[in-house]
Amino acid sequence: MIDCDVHNAWASSRELHPYLDPYHRDAVERGELPGGRDSFPHAHRPWLHPEGFERADAVPPSGGTPGSDYGFMCEQLLDRYDIEYAILTGDEAIEISTLANPYLASALARAVNDWTVERWLSLGDDRLRASVVVAPQDPQGAAAEIRRLAGHPGFVQVLVSSGSTRPYGDPFYGPIWDAATEAGLPFAVHLGGQGGLNAHPVGCGPPTFFWELHALLMETGMGHVASTIAHGVFERWPGARLVLIECGVAWLPALLWRLDADYKALRKETPWLTRLPSEYAREHIRLSTQPLEDPPEREHLYAALEAIDGEHTLLFATDYPHWDFDNPELIHLPHAWRERVMSENARELYGLPRRTPVPTGTLS
Amino acid sequence: MRVCALAELPDGERRLVEVDGRTIGVFNVEGELYALHDRCPHRGGSLCHGRLTGTTEAAPGVTPIGYVRPGRVLRCAWHGWEFDIATGRSLVDPRIRARTYPVEVVDGEVQLVLDVRRDEAQADQPPGLGNLAPWR
């Protein structure tokens, strides 16, 4: 199987210092860090998980941060579930979108990506692929960063947080779509970055409790789907792919039904579109499954997923090592979809060749 | 089945043992011993690696939340579902239950009681969990 959302972590953000330019290194080494000296700079979201984000059994034997120990990740995930590829999405890195200063945000993005190359992609484990993290509030800096790393075969997508100052179809992000599609990299949006600069209120105001917020993880995903379609991202860049990671899935059909209906009535606002919103979505948008909605009647979920051709548009993900991890051995999806959702959709999206299995224990 | 000497399982500690391909967690909670299958009825997560803590109930006052049952609620290490350490029952729906085993102390030794008939009785899936059938 191909796991499309694995959170590799640093044990301390000090690991990034060697990859920072001198000016920003000073800022991070000596400057204010609300979380303390080992923490990563970001403007925190207003909701705090009352038990912590990580699975309680994912702390490595050496101690330290879940997801920071490659050997333990092999034991708990890569080897345990016989994973063909794991798409690494980092952990806190996408929170750079919350910072007001775009130069700092982009400097951190560069450091994160260099850390990823040196600490993960250079391990010699061909199962690992990674994401080019960029600062969406700095489109020019983000485009330059994508171009810098476009040639590295270990990176399979561009990655930003779902929290943003504007939804991702806005022309403000044009340079990022340019660079991503030029490089042949999908534009992936992962749940997160909902705070700081991105504290734009939802029409009814923010939720209060963490579980209330978590159930609403679709909100930002909805905004980006509607925006990229309406602004004609998929007309202007026919090769573009939008990937939503950890934004849920069962809400998408209802949104597409409404987008189609409203577009049919008010098409005049967006004359650059030549197809229905749902048609753009079917071709250009992919969603990771985790956390998969879990209704009492499984058939209700299947009906919703059939409405979005889930067999071809869903990407299996565990979200290891987070608390809302989806167990690949107990994932409730139509049996006939298994090969496509667990592997082939990701293989096509990311251009992953079939791997000849390597016996475990052969990597030094 | 012998787990260990009682002296090796002091108050507040737990031990995990393998029995017939299952992992069972044995807990000492203020001198009382409890054992549960290390498999959460939700999604098969590691129940016995989870935090043993308290929980909350509605309470009067400006903050309407009271902390109760300290140390007697086991949270699954994965999604955090809460189970009573003694009965294995979920706090949200008592029909959902982690499998429990009796524990005895005989001559200073902690003994797990593995009763075949009880195991079979608990083997039926609790109602309300229709989605545990594996993908395969």
**What average pLDDT does the segment A182-190 reach?**
98
Residue B62 lies in a domain: yes
Residue A359 lies in a domain: no
Q: In angstroms, rounded to a whole number, what is the distance separating the alpha carbons of residues A155 and B2?
A: 52
Strand, coil or helix: what is B112?
A: strand
Q: Best of B48, B63, B76, B78 to disrupt the A interface by mutation (most A CBs within 10 Å)?
A: B78
Residue B61 has a pLDDT of: 87
Residue B16 lies in a domain: yes
CATH number of the domain at B55, please. Answer: 2.102.10.10
**β-pairing verdict for B109-112 and B2-5:** antiparallel
Residue A364 lies in a domain: no
Closest Cα in chain B to A326: B43
What is the tally of structural domains in chain A?
1
Residue B78 lies in a domain: yes
How close does chain A come to B45, measured CA to CA in Å?
A: 8
Residue A120 has a pLDDT of: 98
Residue A361 lies in a domain: no
Q: In angstroms, rounded to a whole number, what is the distance separating the alpha carbons of residues A17 and A13?
A: 8
Query: In this predicted model, what pLDDT tens digit does every residue of A148-181 receive, in sequence order?
Result: 999 999 999 999 999 999 999 999 999 999 999 9
pLDDT surpasses 50 at A363: no
Q: Are A134 and A176 in contact (CB under 8 A)?
A: yes
CATH number of the domain at A127, please. Answer: 3.20.20.140
Query: In this predicted model, what pLDDT tens digit does every residue of A239-294 receive, in sequence order?
Result: 999 999 999 999 999 999 999 999 999 999 999 999 999 999 999 999 999 999 99
Note whether B46 contacts A296, CB cutoff 8 Å: no
Task: Please tell me the pTM assigned to this model.
Answer: 0.90
Sort out which chain A residues have CB atoms less than 8 A from B131's CB and list them: 294, 298, 330, 332
Residue A342 lies in a domain: yes
In which domain, by residue range, is A17 found?
2-350
Query: In this predicted model, what pLDDT tens digit does every residue of A104-158 receive, in sequence order?
Result: 999 999 999 999 999 999 999 999 999 999 999 999 999 999 999 999 999 999 9
pLDDT surpasses 70 at B130: no
Note whether B49 contacts A57, CB cutoff 8 Å: yes
Residue B128 lies in a domain: no
Give the C-alpha distances (Å, rounded to integers) separating A181 from A169, A187, A192, A196, A349: 14, 8, 23, 29, 13
Residue A356 lies in a domain: no
Residue A24 lies in a domain: yes
Looking at residue A322, what DSSP letter applies?
A: B
Q: Which residue, A174, A192, A124, A135, is CA-closest to A158?
A: A135
The residues on A that touch B, with CB distances below 8 Å, are 51, 55-58, 294, 296-298, 323-333, 335, 338
Sort out which chain B residues have CB atoms less than 8 A from A330's CB and list them: 43-44, 131-132, 134-135
Long-range contacts made by residues B62-67, C-beta under 8 angstroms, separation at least 24?
Answer: none
Residue B133 lies in a domain: no
Residue B131 lies in a domain: no
Q: In angstroms, rounded to a whole number, what is the distance separating the alpha carbons of residues B45 and B54?
A: 20
pLDDT band for B119, please (50, 70, 90 cuts).
low
Residue A362 lies in a domain: no
**β-pairing verdict for A85-88 and A128-133:** parallel
Q: Best of A76, A77, A332, A335 to disrupt the B interface by mutation (most B CBs within 10 Å)?
A: A332
In which domain, by residue range, is B33 found?
2-122
What is the tally of structural domains in chain B?
1
